[in-house]
Amino acid sequence: MVKELYHYKRSTGYTSDFDTFKSLINYQARLELLERHALSPSPSLTDLRAKQPSPGHSRRHSFSDDVDPDFLERAITKAKKSFERYCSPPKPFSPTHERLLLSARHKDDAIEKRLRQKLLLPKILPPDADEQVKLILFKKGIISKIARESVNDRDISRLLPCQWLNDEIINFYGAMILTRSESNHKVDPPTKRKILDVHYFSTFFWPKLKDEGYEKGRLAKWTKKIDIFSKDVILIPINHSNSHWTGAAINFRRKRIESYDSMNIDRRPVLKALRHYLDSEHRNKRKKPFDFTGWQDHNPEDTPQQENGYDCGVFTCQFLETLSRGEEVFHFSQRDMAYLRRRMIWEIGHGKFLDGP
């Protein structure tokens, strides 16, 4: 069954080898169990907050052949539907005036999307930047500081291949996003570079909201000096069951509660919890319910997908960074992870983004 599923996935764009795919399926199956039954993470799922292993040891989880057959059947059914959509010919076009207008609009959208998708990332860093990455990886102790966040040599090694990212890396990258936004919007007028006015909640926000709620978690204190309703976007990294990272956002510009998961797992509970937070925060700060007129939940199926069990943190950082620039299309995929890991080492080591302020 795993081989059958692999065949369908390869037919719709999956690029990694069969062993990596088996590891991914095992990881997805165990995450589904955690989501459904709120179990403790399995020993074969690495704790994202666990101590860093000895250098050179891979942090892949083990694969066993006893993946739940029901999970595999559901995955194959879903893959077949994707395959049929991917390979089915277009329906005959009936040239009514309405459909002609609609077709023209779709063509314009498709052309714009293709033009934007041509912004491919490079495969490697420039030679001088790559040399600096090597020097950063040789450092011991504190590597970099920004605002209240710091990263040491053990943290930065999480950006080597096949490693899960920890809170320190995620929060440092979030602090960089926030600092860039604040620097841009302190200028009057703001610089021409398209950087939104964002706020970033640390990785410790979600456990407070999910496990304790707004009142008990004392989340009103988190925004004592911040008016989130004046921002363009609120960015939120989420750790699911201490085993998987995803990104979420409260997008005031688009009137959307957004979730971005590199495994496309159903995130309706996240969207519901963030709606509840938004209403509670509005009642606390503005003394009346939040007006959700026109607001939508946004959980796009075309979110870039990881092809292994350990790149979720890198995807999450890139989701949040892209959203902070007001982008609607993500220009990265699994093939870019090796490059992005090294670029993030450079960026964290320098406390700034490689492509400028």
292-338 pLDDT per residue, tens: 999 999 999 899 999 999 999 999 999 999 999 999 899 999 999 99
Strands 149-152 and 233-240: unpaired
Q: Report the distance separating Cα 238 and Cα 267, nearest Å.
A: 11
Give pTM, 2 decimals: 0.82
Give the residue among 210, 262, 199 at the shortest CA–CA distance from 236: 199
The least confident of 27-31, 95-99, 268-272, 343-347 is: 95-99
Residue 276 known to be catalytic? no
**Helical H segments across the chain, by residue range:** 2-11, 18-37, 69-87, 97-117, 127-138, 153-156, 167-186, 205-207, 213-216, 268-286, 312-324, 337-350
Q: Identify the band that residue 353 occupies on the pLDDT scale cut at 50, 70 and 90.
A: very high
The pLDDT score that the predictor gives to residue 57 is 44
Residue with token string 């403790």: 40
Confidence band, pLDDT 50/70/90 cuts, at residue 59? very low
pLDDT > 90? residue 123: yes
Q: Which structure tokens are listed for 163? A: 């490693």
pLDDT at 132 over 70: yes
Give the chain's domains with CATH numbers: 127-350 (3.40.395.10)
The C-alpha atoms of residue 330 and residue 324 are separated, in whole angstroms, by 12
- The catalytically annotated residue of 155, 167, 232, 261 is 261
Please identify which of the residues 61, 199, 240, 244 carries the catalytic annotation.
Answer: 244
The whole-angstrom separation of Cα 96 and Cα 100 is: 6
Question: Is 87 assigned a catalytic role?
Answer: no
Q: How far apart, in Å, are the Cα atoms of 58 and each of 41, 88, 166, 328?
A: 19, 40, 15, 34
Region of residue 294 (left: phi > 0; alpha: psi -120 to 50; beta: else): left
Lowest mean pLDDT among 42-56, 76-90, 95-109, 210-224: 42-56
Q: What residue type is 261 in one-letter code?
A: D
Q: Which two tokens stand for residue 35?
A: 């989501």
| 342: exposed, middle or buried (Cβ count in 10 Å: 0-12, 13-18, 19+) | buried
To the nearest whole number, what is the mean pLDDT of the chain? 86
- Based on the residue annotation, tell me whether 317 is a catalytic residue of this protein: no
Catalytic hit among 155, 232, 311, 312: 312
